[in-house]
Structures are given as C-alpha cells and as structure tokens.
Amino acid sequence: MNIRQSIKKILKEETDRKSKILSMIKNQGFILITRAVGGINHLASILEETPEMLLTKYLSKETFSTDDIEKNTGGYNFKFKLLFVKKSERSVEHDFVFSIEEGTVDLIMGDDVTYDLLGDDIREYDMWWEIKYEIQNTLSDFVEELTDKLKFDEVKSISVNYLFKGIDHFNYINEEEEKTNHNKLENRVKKMIDNLTKDYEFPDNFYGFMVDLIEDKRYNENILKITTVMKQPFSEKDSDKIDRIKRNFMPQIKSFFKGMFNRISGGGTSTLEVYNKEKNNRI
C-alpha cells in the first residue's frame, strides 16, 4: 500500500485520524504528506491548524539551499532557513521571512571574485544593494515553487524578507517599534535611490529625492511617498526631466521593498521650503 492509499484509508476512519497523520509527517516528511493529502489547506483542516502555523512549525526545522530551487540561481549558492510565515492582517498578503545561514556569490560580470555572503568584504561592494535584491528574488522563486508544490492556493500575494544569520535583525516586524522602523525604511529607500541615480545628470537646482512613509488613517494604509525636491522655484522642463528619472527607478523600489508598505506614490515636485512646511504639519 502506497502513501496516498494509506492516507485515504486513514481519512475514512472516524477516530485517531489526527495522530496518525502526525505520525506520517514525522516518518515521511511534511512536504510529502502535504502533497499526499491534497494540499496544505486540507492538511490544516485535519490537524486543526492554519497553513501559516504548519509551514512555520515544520519547515523552520529544515535547512534549504539554492539546490532546492528549480529556477537558475546564477552565481548564488547559499543555505537558508524559513523563520516564519505570517498572513498580513490588512490584506491577503503572506509574509515569508528567511535566515541566510551561509553561502557565496560568484560575481562573474563584476570582478570575477567569489564573496562570502556573510563576510565583511561584500558589504563594501558598490553593488551590494543589487546583490541583496537578487537574493530576495531567489527566495521568492523558492516560495513560489513551494506554494505551488503544497497547493497553497490561498496565497495571492507574497512578501519575502530575510536576514543574514548573526548580522541582521527584523526590527521593522515589531509593531511596537513602528515609528523607529519607519525611519529605518525611509533611510534604506533613500540609500537605494542614491545608488540607482548616481550616474544621472541633474539640474543645478535639484536638491534631492525625499522619502516619507505616511500613514493614511482613512484607509489604514502606509504610503511610501517619494518627493522630488528643488532648492528654489523650478521650471516645468526640469521637473519633467527628473520625473522621467523617477519613473525609471520606482518599480525597482516597489519590488525590492515589497511588503513594507501598502502602496507607493510619486509625491510630485516641490521646493525645499514647501516640502519642509508640509512635513512639519504632518508631525
């Protein structure tokens, strides 16, 4: 009798189904049994748990690697653990948070050097932000393949975040530190924008891109607002030129920081004086 036949027999029984399924998970593995019962939602109903709790409970015990991902991971070779899965209270989005345990990246298109992802040298690399973005994409591929394998059809939108073991902390997840974490997110976005736009030529009157995470209490949303700020009154020509630059990098910001805000806004163009007045009025 194969695993599927055994499970069908167990499910027909009126008593002790839960303990028998738990025993099979222990002996055969969570993923295999989840597939055998017809998906994680069905398993969750049998075990009287939520899918998110089951994923966290069982998969956080395992160590995965880029070898477990079917899609090409390029020069990335690392091991990682799933820390937890959480369904957002504000939407249908599911947050998957990982820990990078160890690994390397081969920068073939750069200086043809292999870097330790948990080392100090790579954090001095000019394109470090892009490496972090590509790690997030790699983990997103893993999540998409995993949810498809487990028939987790409830997942409509995915947010993937991660930390480097022994180095980072996910402080922004703690709602008690929301104000501090807003500032951290604003600074991280600002730093990425600076990297993305360092090769552009801006008008002399350009001051910078200002980043603000604003709470919209009416709709219970956090809006990431990126405002073009000029030193003095500006021409429409200069405003349009910078607006084109902004439209180029905003999709990358939205993708990289997915799950950390509800929506992104261009914020328009303003003088420094007007911007400061509006910001002071919000405080």
182 with 276, same domain: the answer is yes
130 with 195, same domain: the answer is no
CATH number for 257:
3.30.300
Predicted confidence at residue 147, as pLDDT, reads: 92
Of 13-27, 79-93, 166-180, 248-262, give the lowest mean pLDDT range.
Answer: 166-180
Report the range out of 111-115, 184-188, 204-208 with the highest average pLDDT: 204-208
Predicted confidence at residue 174, as pLDDT, reads: 39
Last residue of a domain, one of 151, 169, 187: 169
24 with 83, same domain: the answer is no
Q: Which of 222, 225, 212 is nearest to 262 (CA)?
A: 222
pTM: 0.62
Tell me whether residue 58 is in a domain.
Answer: no
Q: Are 118 and 100 in contact (CB under 8 A)?
A: yes
69 with 147, same domain: the answer is yes
Q: Are 104 and 115 in contact (CB under 8 A)?
A: yes
Last residue of a domain, one of 118, 140, 169: 169
Predicted confidence at residue 74, as pLDDT, reads: 87
Tell me whether residue 53 is in a domain.
Answer: no
Cα 108 from Cα 103, distance rounded (Å): 16
Q: What is the pLDDT of residues 34-90, one digit of tens each?
A: 998 899 999 998 888 999 999 999 999 999 999 999 999 989 999 999 999 988 765
Query: What totals of helices (H) and strands (E) does the chain contain, helices first?
Result: 9, 9
Q: How many domains does the chain have?
A: 3
Tell me whether residue 57 is in a domain.
Answer: no
Asked whether the predicted pLDDT for residue 172 surpasses 80, the reply is no
Q: Are 66 and 138 in contact (CB under 8 A)?
A: yes
132 with 149, same domain: the answer is yes
* DSSP-H helix ranges across 37-113: 40-47, 51-54
Asked whether the predicted pLDDT for residue 283 surpasses 60, the reply is no
Predicted confidence at residue 170, as pLDDT, reads: 52
Q: What's the mean pLDDT when you consider all of the chain?
A: 85
124 with 193, same domain: the answer is no
Q: What is the pLDDT of residues 112-141, one digit of tens each?
A: 788 999 998 888 887 788 888 899 999 999
Cα 159 from Cα 93, distance rounded (Å): 7
In the block, tokens 């350009």 appear at 206
Mean pLDDT of the 215-234 span:
86
72 with 157, same domain: the answer is yes
Cα 80 from Cα 60, distance rounded (Å): 10
Tell me whether residue 99 is in a domain.
Answer: yes
69 with 153, same domain: the answer is yes
Tell me whether residue 131 is in a domain.
Answer: yes
163 with 189, same domain: the answer is no
Give the three-state DSSP class for 226. strand
34 with 98, same domain: the answer is no
Mean pLDDT of the 174-180 span:
43
Tell me whether residue 10 is in a domain.
Answer: yes
164 with 182, same domain: the answer is no
Cα 272 from Cα 278, distance rounded (Å): 10
Tell me whether residue 244 is in a domain.
Answer: yes
Predicted confidence at residue 271, as pLDDT, reads: 93
Note down the domain range covering 7: 3-47
Tell me which of 178 and 30 has the higher pLDDT: 30
Tell me whether residue 188 is in a domain.
Answer: yes
Q: For residue 184, name the pLDDT band (cuts at 50, 70, 90).
A: confident
